[in-house]
Structure 1
Amino acid sequence: MQKLSSITRLKLKSRFQNLRNSLRKAIKAFPRKEGYTFPPHPARLFPLPTQYILENKNSLLVSPKSSRELTKFENRKRFLILRENQGNVYHSVKYRRPTNDRRARHHRPGDLVKMRNYIQFLTTPTVDTPGTTLLLHFDNKRYLIGNIAEGTQRACVQGKIGLMKVGEVFMTGKVDWASTGGMLGMILTLADATSTSREAQFQHESAKMQKKGALAAKPEKAFLNIHGGENLTHLLATARRFVFRNGMPLYTNEYRPDREQRTNWNPSWSDDNIKVWAMAIKSEKKAKRHGKRRHDEISGDSPDGSLAEKSQDLLLKEARELQDREDNKHQIRKSVVSSMFDSDWKLDTLHSMKLKDVRMPAAIFIRDSDGKIQRYQGPKPGGVQEVPDIEVLTRKPWPGALVESLPPTKPSTSSVSYIIKNYPQRGKFNAKEAERLNVKRGADYQTLVSGRSVIATDGTTVTPEQVLGEGKEGTGVAILEVPDVSYIKGLLAREEWKSEEVMAGVELVIWILGPGVLADPSVQKFMEEHKKFTHIVSSQDNSPNYLAFSSAAAQAIRLHLLDSERFPIPSFSNASQPPSQPVPYLKAKLGKTMLLEPKFEIQDEKCIPYLDTEQVVKEADPEVLALANEARKEIMSPEYQAKLDEVQKDIPCKDAEVITLGTGSALPSKYRNVSATLLRIPEYGNYLFDAGENTLGQMRRVFGKDLPGVLSNLKAIWISHLHADHHLGTASVIKAWHEETSKNEATRNNKLAIASDHGMIHWLTEYSEVEHYGFERLELIEMTPAVNNLYEEFTPAQTEAFGLSSIQACQVSHCHGALAVAFNFPNGFKVAYSGDCRPSQDFVRIGQGATLLIHEATFDDELQGDAIAKKHSTTSEAMNIGKGMGARRILLTHFSQRYQKIPVMDSEVTDQVAIVAFDYMKVKISDFSKIAAFRPALLKLYEEKE
């Protein structure tokens, strides 16, 4: 057997995965062989195509890159590893403690550890944050529990919640967009932050080691585990075309009702800090059918004959085969997710292939006569001209994007809840008593502390109970999500409530309840019968619609003081209906903290107060208000109005209104949400250009009680490209439209047009297998790339349904599949939308004569280098596009979240007017000049902000 002198020499291509439940069938006995060093307990091997995982009696660990990440065996001295591509050759290496701060400190569960830990509410239900998110805090690790709904990431930014140490996410409830809509954005942010931190750590260590004349080791990758219900892995895998990160391996662990085979009360999952019991609950509600039924389902016959005629053995065999097929499908999905987050793919790698085999659109290169790589300029696949038979160089897509389709699935109605407990704390070791019992000092003391008996020097057996004081049961919390009343019976009937082993130490029950569930007598009765627990309820029924994003709301109020017509105050309410009689629960509040160890305690003093809107008004700068008052006087004068009427008398649809729902780039920030712009045209309907995360929440803030009418009149959504900040709010907007229009007979059969690149259309199609969100009512318009002209002419029937006469798009320089677009209406109104891009003459061409140009201006002119490097536009570049088009009105948006600066714009009444967008702004085409008149007040306001 080969021994390794250093653990850094082990370069295994294996990855850490929690396979305790999903891979039990794959366990093979680990044979003992003469001459090999083995741990005191038999280890077992989990074989996978590229992963080898060892499990022993206590726990399992695997190494992504080095053995420092392997689980220790009980003797803490040696590990057993199957090295890839070397057959059954096993290596042993010495134990070394991990040095990565993000990893849990190794200690045996049950050691006497006085670790302070608590659980805190990061979000409670509002229109900004529709889900409930909890943070379980340990000094060495963080756990997110509950919903990762849209708006969660922005709430963390607002609350200055650091997420760098998050290693586990426990999703509660169903796997649908309402519960998981913020998950993909959160993962991307965590991966980027982790990668940046890891690189900074490496640079710091390199500098230190260089002084010593040595090389620094690359820091190990931190990983993220996401636990949840059925279809969690499938949901993540649907994002493979637009999510790729290689800085943070990600793994999923699904809990399903049909997989629960509990023969004991061992936890579903555990680490060095906590033990977790997952409870997957089935709904008692019958699932609705969507789509056509097969003939055999209608007739009641099965393909192989009546079920009654089948033997029990045959039924069991078929069930096993079905289970094996499902397991294979699930492994395919897990493999796709693994390729999305733990791949060695690099952007700058070029591959040789025949030109005819290149999949467009793609960047194509050739080598010239000197062997230098140059851009290929000849005929391309998909064009009019025949392509030559030559070898070219091109980049291959990242591995996940090569998977054309996923194994089919169907929406699941199961909901997951958890019971989470700290480890018991052993009593204090009595050294005097151990000495009296003739226990040898040193290793035997440690053995007794770890819970095992020893043989004393006089030959007697000494047990831990003889030398350890009274221990303390670890404090626990149950987090129970009940989406609707159909889950109540299944949850309350769980055997866990009767298990002393599971419930010992549980002090707190946190309820995450859907509408109407809180009033159910069964829930109230359960709380009354279990008064020994502290019950806290988070529900739409008892949570006020406070302003969760207080910084953005305060800014909106300041803008409202300048111009109340164009800057509305976001709709909100801090009032909550008090209960008519005493209730057996506490109400969840933002920031509410429950200390678990060393002693259970409710800490209401950490609750975050609601935004004091009156105080924001009182603190308004008098100089800013004076400038705004001058602007109001100017735009109300008859001379100004006459001049304005003259210059815009030929503009069609002057009453069309633009609502800027999200005006920031890349990530949601305290002051700006990510991209979304709504256009309301009285004659035709409402049109949404991009829908970044939490677009629906922004709409609810802007329109309040008027939102149902706005949704009912929504005709089309355009998605410019597949970057997360432009489309992760699409599914929730579609579902809200579907639910609203389904209420009315007149709108029940309406369609909603979705126009975008193939990738977005494919994602909507795949996601429809996870949730019924109205996909069957969509009119999908795939803008298939041609040479440089994408055109969709509408039929009279389509124009009647969607209000558009045509859509024209062009490819732009930003990312794969990025498109700019022009929407044309029958009355001559035309809107051109850039999405994200460098300045494009093709866009100028298709946008000629636009009534309105909406163009990104991510960077100020002084940061043009950044704009070029990141394939965005500056303020002046966007203005020049507008001039080239002859656009009558220009709206600049998508500003960098790092550089909060108001571009200097002309405030004169002219034939072409440009303004800057702010979140929640509502401006008619005829009022662009009026907004521009407030430029001095706006500059002064943001001067104070800076």
Structure 2
Amino acid sequence: MLLTKLLSPAKTFHSISQVLCNTCNMSGGTKVMQHAQNLKFQRVKLREKNMKYVPGIINLQVLGSGAYGAPKSLYLFTDQSRYLFNCGEGTQRLAHEHKMRLAKLDSIFITQPTWDNLGGLPGLALTIQDVGVPEITLHGPDGLEQIFVGTRRFVVLKNLSVITKECVAYDKYEDHIISVTYVPLVSSQDSSNGPTDTSSGSPPPTDDSEDDIDYYDYETNQSQTVSQANKKRRHHSPPSSRNDSSPTKRPTPSSPASTTMSYICQLKPRPGALSLDKCVAHNVPPGPLLGKLKAGQDVTLADGTVVRSADVTEPDEIGPVFIVLDCPDESYLDSLLKESIFARYQESAASPDDIAVLVAHFSPPHVLSHPRYKEFMSKFPSSTQHLILNESNHCLGSVAVHKIQCKLNVLNKHIFPMLCDNGIPVIVDKESPIPPTPAPTTPTESSTDPPPPSVPLSPSLQSLMTDLVTDLASHYSGLDSNSVLPSSSEPTLIQARTLMKIPLRPRLPLDTSPPLSLDIPAYVRETLTSSPEFPDALSALKQSLEQEEQTPHTNNNGNNINSNNSNVDNDRETVPSEERRKFPEVTFLGTGSSIPNKTRNTSSILLRIDRSSCMLLDCGEGTLSQLVRLFGPRQLDDILSQLGAIYISHLHADHHLGLISLIQARARVRSSSPTRKLVLLAPKQIITWLNLYSARFQRIGHLYTLVPLSLFENHGQNRPPLDQDTISLLSSLGLSSLTTCLVHHCPNAFGVALTTLSGHKITYSGDTMPCDGLVSIGKNSDLLIHEATHEDELEKEARLKMHSTVSQAIRIGRDMFAKHVLLTHFSQRYAKLPRLNRDLNENVGIAFDNMRISLSDLPKLKHFYPALKLMFAEYQDEIEVRAMKRNLKAEVKRNQKADVKRKLSIESAEGKR
């Protein structure tokens, strides 16, 4: 089967050899640069060609609905260009899942420079750079470019130019598809009246705290040894020369902006079609004259008659108008109501063609319900539709996350709990009134995968499937009763849902039926029929887990995990044994590396230390969204109120781009008790980025206290004792000790060992190559959470990027005598299951997003791998095929080099003669 798949591609062994022959002498960096230049050239040529035509199909589509935890984002797309309105955190993940291709993205329009609207820009920039976009233009209030100034050390744009457009009131951006008028709205309140950051405990930027470190230096200095790299970790490096593509600069604002930008958008007219009947009536002969008439040129016939293009073509199709409006709070209402330009597109418009067909409201619910805002909306006629993108919506937009969680839940419903996201309708049987997602029609972009072929089920499997579907349906029906949005009393108000499409050309009725759905029976059937051996493996797993429940297990101190631990403080001895069994509890929110994909988000782990305290280990982009999905808004409020600290292992983007949204979400929940700040345990260099954001965008410095990780660094016998304030801080987090060490990755990358007040020890590697320092601080851990970015055959790639392979991570666990090892941070090439060259050891498990496990459940993980391999059998075949192709290419390259050496040897010998 694998051999058939391997030989099926059109590329033959010879063609692979030819490709390698052409590139064998090129360095990795040179190949990347040349590839980027080729993509840029192709894109420019295609754009020049497309500018001659106005596209006939243009749609506006909801990417993010604005629900709590979801971005609020609109995507305007044609077969030629793409435009994005707002780019909140998580935008790129939804775009990836729903195949909203970003390679043709030209412009991004930001309404207000807040994290809700621009938090996805850094990650999106990295993604579109990788697909060959040469430049992107930002439109919005002054100072947008500062987001890339602040992130330039960990968002390195080597081949992407970011251009910031100066958006003067009533000026226009125009191309051959659209005209966009800038309409600024100004707050009536002075932004300087907000809270200052002087009490944050985090110093303002100074020469000492400026971060000029190149966090990707190891990628450009591959000859540098690990020991040499470690010597640099405490010193500043010269600024990276790779920021030549930094955004064009405008005057830097001195305080967070008090201006929001709205956009009046009108599609360019489309020339009317050539009428052959009219051409015949005007005696136009077949031939090149028809092409000239179609292009809008008048022509002269052989008899001297002049035929005007307008006489033989249909009337031009007038471009519809839509408005993107963001009124962040009541202080902007005066500016909104005084703005006269909107009247041109309301009921008082000079022509019916000028009336806006749609207003997209990014304004929050409390503004939308304000009488003065309603007054503004009432000035539009009933033909204008109003699209609502804010927190009143519930659609988080991801089907793939639910699908894989349903499948994993079949294995164990406690370790893989069902999600509490209720914003997508659920199909529970074939008679369900909610239809599946319709097949997309060009150029609509959708992630709907073709349904797998139906496989007849045996009576026993059919019975099992019925039980599983009933159980899963019961879960969804038990969620808060807002899974189906209430119909608005106003027929022109539309609650946004991800993938909802508004046809602008041609103008078609809006389909308000849910564009996404969760087909629970299909997910369960696909799981049970993934392999003929899977049902037996599932049964064996269930039996093993039942036996494991009856087996006592001890931690490395010799204490029974299920019983009270004697080595605890007196004030904790009264904790019930059931709580000791449950806590500490580890929940994986992101288990992928680099960029998010639809099944594995970037790094984040929720560590619930006890019933009243928890902390996060790293928080990649989209961590808040993961929390909302898993816990639901109500329980999440409890989690955020208990969140005492966020630990950041290092300053690569995939480990901390979710930080600002979490700081803000926690502040909203804890607004009644603002005195208890969030503790930020991080490399001290993070303060440069946070201070810049706080000064230029939104004030957040008063919401957290930064405690540098170097304070807890292991120096052996020379480590100074912690002061009483730090000890009290740890105790308030439920910890008796916290020890860090520098690891072998980028500068200022740390590993950490945590010991809870109940005596449990958990070590987290962050990103690193195998590291003796981590072994030292993690000795006798109950749990080691270690990155395993690459499979064993890619050890060279792992070394170049300073990551670990699966076997290296397992070996580190063995060297530190860790009782259990959980592997995480997998390359996104392993979206579902990492490739292992052998079965897992007794004490090793694989982490998945939304996996929740207590230390007492860790012995169960060894039983899951056989069923997981069968559940993802087809995917396992695919990665085996890729591995075989990779090995084939490597062999061809080795043979090539041997041939070259042999040829040189022969020529040298002949020369000596």
TM-score normalised over the length of structure 1: 0.67
Q: Which residue of 1 aligns with 2:405?
A: 556
Q: Which residue of 1 aligns with 2:367?
A: 517
Q: Spell out, residue by residue over 1:693-750, the C-alpha distance to the aligned partner (whole angstroms, 9 max, x if none).
A: 0111111222222222222222222212222211100111111122222223xxx211
Of 886, 890, 901, the residue aligned with 2:833 is 901
Q: Does the 8 Å CA contact 1:859/1:895 hold for their aligned counterparts?
A: yes
Q: Which residue of 2 aligns with 1:914?
A: 844
Letter in 1 for 2:844: A
> How far off is 1:752 after superposition?
2.0
Q: Spell out, residue by residue over 1:880-918, the C-alpha distance to the aligned partner (whole angstroms, 9 max, x if none).
A: 11122222332211112212435566575xxxx332211
Of 835, 839, 851, the residue aligned with 2:770 is 839
1:176 equivalent to 2:104? Answer no
- Equivalent position SS for 2:588: strand
Residues in 2 aligned to 1:123 and 1:252: alpha-carbon distance in whole angstroms: 23
Of 707, 713, 722, the residue aligned with 2:642 is 713
> How far off is 1:491 after superposition?
2.6
Of 506, 517, 537, the residue aligned with 1:610 is 517
Letter in 2 for 1:612: D
Of 728, 740, 763, the residue aligned with 2:669 is 740
Of 319, 325, 341, the residue aligned with 1:474 is 319
Of 926, 938, 945, the residue aligned with 2:856 is 926
Q: Spell out, residue by residue over 1:387-426, the C-alpha distance to the aligned partner (whole angstroms, 9 max, x if none).
A: xxxxxx99863365999x9966211132222111122245
Residues in 2 aligned to 1:786 and 1:383: alpha-carbon distance in whole angstroms: 15
1:290 equivalent to 2:195? Answer yes
> How far off is 1:605 after superposition?
8.1
Residues in 2 aligned to 1:482 and 1:140: alpha-carbon distance in whole angstroms: 31
Q: Spell out, residue by residue over 1:646-700, the C-alpha distance to the aligned partner (whole angstroms, 9 max, x if none).
A: 5887787762111111111111112111100111112883121110001111112
Residues in 2 aligned to 1:851 and 1:507: alpha-carbon distance in whole angstroms: 61
Letter in 1 for 2:84: L
1:778 equivalent to 2:627? Answer no
Residues in 2 aligned to 1:857 and 1:463: alpha-carbon distance in whole angstroms: 70
Residues in 2 aligned to 1:513 and 1:624: alpha-carbon distance in whole angstroms: 51
Q: Residues 330-729 of structure 1 correspond to what in structure 2 (within 5 A)?
A: 397-398=240-241, 400=243, 409-426=254-271, 470-499=315-344, 504=354, 506-531=356-381, 533-540=383-390, 542-543=392-393, 545-546=394-395, 548-574=397-423, 575-579=483-487, 581-597=489-505, 599-604=506-511, 608-613=515-520, 615-617=522-524, 620-621=527-528, 622-623=535-536, 625-637=538-550, 646=560, 655-682=583-610, 685-704=613-632, 705-729=634-658
Q: Which residue of 1 aligns with 2:573?
A: none
Residues in 1 aligned to 2:560 and 2:163: alpha-carbon distance in whole angstroms: 62
Q: Does the 8 Å CA contact 1:241/1:401 hold for their aligned counterparts?
A: no
Q: Does the 8 Å CA contact 1:662/1:674 hold for their aligned counterparts?
A: yes
Q: Does the 8 Å CA contact 1:537/1:588 hold for their aligned counterparts?
A: yes
Q: Which residue of 1 aligns with 2:88?
A: 149
> How far off is 1:854 after superposition?
1.4
Letter in 1 for 2:51: H
Q: Does the 8 Å CA contact 1:273/1:423 hold for their aligned counterparts?
A: yes
Q: Which residue of 1 aligns with 2:727?
A: 799
Residues in 2 aligned to 1:65 and 1:896: alpha-carbon distance in whole angstroms: 26
Q: Does the 8 Å CA contact 2:388/2:493 hold for their aligned counterparts?
A: no
Q: Does the 8 Å CA contact 2:108/2:137 hold for their aligned counterparts?
A: yes
Q: Spell out, residue by residue over 1:834-853, the C-alpha distance to the aligned partner (whole angstroms, 9 max, x if none).
A: 11111011221222233332
Letter in 2 for 1:150: E
Residues 462 and 490 of structure 1: is their aligned pair in 2 closer, same or farther, counting only changes over 3 Å? Answer: farther
Residues 114 and 778 of structure 1: is their aligned pair in 2 closer, same or farther, counting only changes over 3 Å? Answer: closer
Residues in 1 aligned to 2:413 and 2:97: alpha-carbon distance in whole angstroms: 25
TM-score normalised over the length of structure 2: 0.69
Q: Does the 8 Å CA contact 1:719/1:760 hold for their aligned counterparts?
A: no
Name stretches of at least 5 consecutive residues in structure 2 with no aligned partner: 1-35, 200-210, 424-482, 529-534, 569-579, 877-913
CA RMSD of aligned residues (A): 4.7
Letter in 1 for 2:871: L
> How far off is 1:931 after superposition?
3.2
Q: Does the 8 Å CA contact 1:789/1:809 hold for their aligned counterparts?
A: no
Residues in 2 aligned to 1:876 and 1:349: alpha-carbon distance in whole angstroms: 26
Residues in 2 aligned to 1:471 and 1:240: alpha-carbon distance in whole angstroms: 46
Q: Does the 8 Å CA contact 2:614/2:643 hold for their aligned counterparts?
A: yes
Q: Which residue of 2 aligns with 1:300?
A: none
Q: Does the 8 Å CA contact 2:135/2:161 hold for their aligned counterparts?
A: yes
Residues 606 and 723 of structure 1: is their aligned pair in 2 closer, same or farther, counting only changes over 3 Å? Answer: farther
Q: Does the 8 Å CA contact 2:254/2:696 hold for their aligned counterparts?
A: yes
Residues in 2 aligned to 1:417 and 1:774: alpha-carbon distance in whole angstroms: 25
Q: Spell out, residue by residue over 1:267-312, the C-alpha distance to the aligned partner (whole angstroms, 9 max, x if none).
A: 5211122110121212345544323899xxxxxxxxxxxxxxxxxx
Q: Spell out, residue by residue over 1:75-115, the C-alpha distance to the aligned partner (whole angstroms, 9 max, x if none).
A: xxxxxxxxxxxxxxxxxxxxxx99622556334xxx8x463
Letter in 1 for 2:75: L
> How far off is 1:571 after superposition?
0.8
- Equivalent position SS for 1:225: strand
Q: Spell out, residue by residue over 1:241-263, the C-alpha distance to the aligned partner (whole angstroms, 9 max, x if none).
A: 112122221111254xxx53x5x
Residues in 1 aligned to 2:686 and 2:59: alpha-carbon distance in whole angstroms: 41
Residues 408 and 783 of structure 1: is their aligned pair in 2 closer, same or farther, counting only changes over 3 Å? Answer: farther
Q: Does the 8 Å CA contact 1:789/1:808 hold for their aligned counterparts?
A: no
Q: Which has the bigger relative contact order, CA under 8 A and spacing at least 6?
A: 2
- Equivalent position SS for 1:602: coil
- Equivalent position SS for 2:404: helix
Residues in 1 aligned to 2:227 and 2:857: alpha-carbon distance in whole angstroms: 47
Q: Does the 8 Å CA contact 1:625/1:937 hold for their aligned counterparts?
A: yes
Residues in 2 aligned to 1:381 and 1:674: alpha-carbon distance in whole angstroms: 27
Residues 501 and 839 of structure 1: is their aligned pair in 2 closer, same or farther, counting only changes over 3 Å? Answer: farther
Q: Does the 8 Å CA contact 1:536/1:588 hold for their aligned counterparts?
A: no
> How far off is 1:562 after superposition?
2.1
Letter in 2 for 1:667: I
Letter in 1 for 2:635: D
How many residue pairs align between the two structures? 725
Q: Which residue of 1 aligns with 2:800?
A: 869
1:848 equivalent to 2:776? Answer no
> How far off is 1:230 after superposition?
3.1
Q: Does the 8 Å CA contact 1:527/1:535 hold for their aligned counterparts?
A: no
Q: Which residue of 1 aligns with 2:128?
A: 190
Residues 864 and 725 of structure 1: is their aligned pair in 2 closer, same or farther, counting only changes over 3 Å? Answer: same
Letter in 1 for 2:360: I
**Percentage identity across paired residues of the two chains:** 29
Q: Which residue of 2 aligns with 1:881?
A: 812
Residues in 1 aligned to 2:597 and 2:372: alpha-carbon distance in whole angstroms: 41
- Equivalent position SS for 2:137: strand
- Equivalent position SS for 2:357: strand
Q: Residues 34-49 of structure 1 correspond to what in structure 2 (within 5 A)?
A: none
Q: Which residue of 2 aligns with 1:101?
A: 46
Residues 546 and 579 of structure 1: is their aligned pair in 2 closer, same or farther, counting only changes over 3 Å? Answer: closer
Residues 637 and 788 of structure 1: is their aligned pair in 2 closer, same or farther, counting only changes over 3 Å? Answer: closer
Q: Does the 8 Å CA contact 1:735/1:773 hold for their aligned counterparts?
A: no
Residues in 2 aligned to 1:700 and 1:792: alpha-carbon distance in whole angstroms: 40
1:760 equivalent to 2:686? Answer yes
Residues 867 and 179 of structure 1: is their aligned pair in 2 closer, same or farther, counting only changes over 3 Å? Answer: same
Deviates more, 1:501-510 or 1:723-732: 501-510
Q: Which residue of 1 aligns with 2:97?
A: 158
Q: Does the 8 Å CA contact 1:792/1:806 hold for their aligned counterparts?
A: no
Residues 425 and 663 of structure 1: is their aligned pair in 2 closer, same or farther, counting only changes over 3 Å? Answer: closer
Q: Spell out, residue by residue over 1:19-50, the C-alpha distance to the aligned partner (whole angstroms, 9 max, x if none).
A: xxxxxxxxxxxxxxxxxxxxxxxxxxxxxxxx
Residues in 2 aligned to 1:528 and 1:581: alpha-carbon distance in whole angstroms: 14
